């Protein structure tokens, strides 16, 4: 099997660079709103019995005037899946449970109900196979067609530059994935979701890494503009209640259906980092 150590390091470096740029952009928005809020960073180390190099990550969280709670995590972990869980992972099995994973995960819950919450995640995994996955989706308590259109347009441009069918496939995948069956509703207004972009050789790695970087750049282009467009809108108690109830649906999805939550919990990740996606407040009617 190919040694993907160098490729994992390339991906890790990109995810950390993207994290730094996103956090700086979000802090700049807080300054524009008259807030001195900043990210606090908490490193953590994974533990696995018999593993001298389990890896870890850094959890970044900011609570401000515009961003009620935003978390940006980067982690790089190494280890072995439990046999039953290994059977559910691409390229892994009870006989071949070893894995390496590196990625960035972001969730922002906003103070103003008119500003959409957002999720973005990209990752590189190796088992007996290696692949990229990820995506981004917009989650407005009060949807605006302009915001939805702009967010999708930027993601579509990133997709179109790398695969003629990427946007059609990955936006449909997002609609199917970010769905709450027991509620019969989607989590938000969609985006893109992709997984298992195969890196069986260096040409595959280079192409899929380039696309994954484009997804990160698209997010950094689109989302801050949408935040600035809505962050000064007036809102009332009814708007706030609508947002809190919508956040309850978001929490239900992440705790019941989200693959990333399950992956983190099954691989001994930092619980606070895994659950940073949960909103600071939510309500159920």
Catalytic residues: 119
47, burial (CB in 10 Å: exposed 0-12, middle 13-18, buried 19+): exposed
Residue 26 and residue 37: Cα distance in Å, rounded? 10
Best CA proximity match to 223, nearest among 26, 30, 59:
26
* 3-state SS, residue 210: helix
Q: Is 280 within 8 Å of 69 (Cβ atoms)?
A: yes
H or E element in which residue 186 lies? strand 185-186
Burial 59-82 (b: 16+ CB within 10 A, else e): bbbbbbbbbbbbbbbbbbbbbbbe
* 3-state SS, residue 104: strand
Q: Is 158 within 8 Å of 214 (Cβ atoms)?
A: yes
Q: Is 134 within 8 Å of 212 (Cβ atoms)?
A: yes
Residue 255 and residue 278: Cα distance in Å, rounded? 9
């Amino acid at each position: 099997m190919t040694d993907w150590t160098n490729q994992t390091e390339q991906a890790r470096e990109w995810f950390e660079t993207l994290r730094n740029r996103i956090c700086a952009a979000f802090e700049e928005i807080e300054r524009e709103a008259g807030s001195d809020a900043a990210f606090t960073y908490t490193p953590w180390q994974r533990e696995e019995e018999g593993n001298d190099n389990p890896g870890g990550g850094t959890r970044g969280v900011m609570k401000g005037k515009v961003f009620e709670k935003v978390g940006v995590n980067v982690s790089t972990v190494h280890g072995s899946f439990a046999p039953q869980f290994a059977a559910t992972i691409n390229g892994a099995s009870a006989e071949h449970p070893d894995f390496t994973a590196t990625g960035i995960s972001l969730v922002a819950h906003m103070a103003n109900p008119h500003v959409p919450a957002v999720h973005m995640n990209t990752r590189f995994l190796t088992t007996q196979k290696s692949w990229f996955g990820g995506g981004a989706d917009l989650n407005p308590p009060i949807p605006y067609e302009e915001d939805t259109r702009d967010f999708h347009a930027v993601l579509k441009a990133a997709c179109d530059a790398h695969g003629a069918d990427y946007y059609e496939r990955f936006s449909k995948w997002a609609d199917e994935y970010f769905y709450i069956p027991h509620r019969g509703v989607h989590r938000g207004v969609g985006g893109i979701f992709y997984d298992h972009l195969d890196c069986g050789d260096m040409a595959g790695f280079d192409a899929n890494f380039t696309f994954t970087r484009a997804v990160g750049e698209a997010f950094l282009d689109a989302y801050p503009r949408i935040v600035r467009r809505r962050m000064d809108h007036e809102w009332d108690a009814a708007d706030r209640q609508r947002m809190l109830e919508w956040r309850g649906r978001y929490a239900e999805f992440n705790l019941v259906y989200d693959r990333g939550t399950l992956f983190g919990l099954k691989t001994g990740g930092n619980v606070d980092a895994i659950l940073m996606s949960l909103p600071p407040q939510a309500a159920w009617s």
